[in-house]
Structure 1
Amino acid sequence: MIDTIRSAKTKRLAIAALAVVGWVALMLRYLILVTVVSPELVSPEVLVRYVSFFAVQVNFLAALVLTAFAFKAGRDEWLVHPFVRSAIAVYAAAVLAIYLPALPALLALSGVQFWADLLLRYLMPSGYLLFWLFLVRKAGLRWYDPLLWLIYPLFYLAFVVIRGKMSGFYPYPFIDVGALGYSRALLNAGGIMVICVGLGALAVLIGRLSAK
């Protein structure tokens, strides 16, 4: 019994540490955006651009869920429900899929920007996926859940395209309508959606196999 309690406490401490890494990564990325990338912009515009990055949003959700896991005991809260945790795992995997081709460029960076990008785009998504794989209860996931998980990325893309049309700012070059045109940008976005559905189906399969 004592060993079980100690094991549970160790797990919560480890998850709490990962949550802290996530909050630190988010803070570093915001400070870099304010002081290095866009120091000429007024504060509200910097904040909007900051939250326009999918990786930032996913890291925020992941840090929130990890914090809830570390400090909340209830199993019925929405933050600790398998559907929510698994959705964020799919989004974290999508972040890795998007940024892995850019890894050589990241290795050319140095200082705070290197660590911020490494934590935000690679280590935190990987850490969350390990958390989901080994510690998250996955029973109850349904085969149509990947389609429901797609709602959030679709809203995100709609927001980015509409705001980009008004402001001229697009967080990612592959959805830059101004540079690519609508047909090419929408084709790229469709490819990302297909990847998300595929990752979601894989998550449901893993969940069903682990439940057995």
Structure 2
Amino acid sequence: MRRNFEILGFAMSCFAVVTQLILMLHNREASLGETLLRFVGYFTILTNTLVALYFAVRVFGLKRRMWVLFHRRATPMALTAFILVVGLVYQVALRKIWNPTGLQMIVDELLHTIVPVFMYVYWLMFQARNLVMWQELRSWLLFPVLYLGWVLLRGYYSGFYPYPFLNMDQLGTGTLVLNISMVLALMLLVMAALYFLGKLLRPKQ
């Protein structure tokens, strides 16, 4: 059953990321290089890609030496926290600003709703009871911090911001700092919630 979950998780997340790339390239309004940079500039894409790679490691038995990050104890919990934040932020702040149709709608739901829920269910069923130290989990916060730094630096020079709540040109410094603080606080809150849920579900020694 677990392997079937992992195969399905890999298939869904991989299809969603690859198809989104194809759609962006097909509808691009910038050069190929700029379009690819914009594609990897979305936290949604990066997080779904990490989820796809995690499931790929499990499905194909990829070697620990080359894929050590995806063999660490804290990785499933961290990825679950990040993909849940992707879903939560989309539902609250982004869903209302556009109305995709056709294949784009399917991909959109996969990236922001179906894969996040699926990853949470997978973690709850197969990973939640594994021992994870808070120090291991906390180190994953470097990922969103580095992402935000890159997005803001690139946006400053290119004028492109992947999300409206990170648009420094339109929001101003005060609102931007508030938005970033809220997103990081949400990530920490979700991560902490999963950590304590895992402790509750773990069998008593």
Same fold (TM over 0.5): yes
CA deviation string 1:168-197 (max 9, x = no partner): 000000010010012211110000011111
* Equivalent in the alignment of 2:157: 166
Over 3 Å counting, the alpha-carbon distance change for 1:161 and 1:138 in structure 2 is farther
* TM-score relative to the length of structure 1: 0.86
Given that residues 5 and 122 in structure 2 are in contact (C-alpha distance below 8 angstroms), is that contact kept between their aligned partners in structure 1? no
Note the C-alpha offset of 1:19. Answer: 0.6
In structure 2, give the amino acid aligned to 1:161: L
In structure 1, give the amino acid aligned to 2:39: Y
Could you tell me which runs of 5 or more consecutive residues in structure 2 were left unpaired when the two chains were aligned: none
* Equivalent in the alignment of 2:30: 41
In structure 2, give the amino acid aligned to 1:50: F
1:81 corresponds to which of 59, 72, 75: 72
* C-alpha RMSD over aligned residues: 2.1
What fraction of aligned residue pairs are identical, expressed as a percent?
Answer: 25
How far apart are the structure 2 equivalents of 1:175 and 1:104?
17
How far apart are the structure 1 equivalents of 2:95 and 2:109?
9
How far apart are the structure 2 equivalents of 1:35 and 1:82?
39
Note the C-alpha offset of 1:144. Answer: 4.2
How far apart are the structure 2 equivalents of 1:129 and 1:152?
19
Greater CA radius of gyration, 1 or 2?
1
1:119 aligns with 2:91: no
Could you tell me which runs of 5 or more consecutive residues in structure 1 were left unpaired when the two chains were aligned: 1-9
Over 3 Å counting, the alpha-carbon distance change for 1:45 and 1:74 in structure 2 is closer
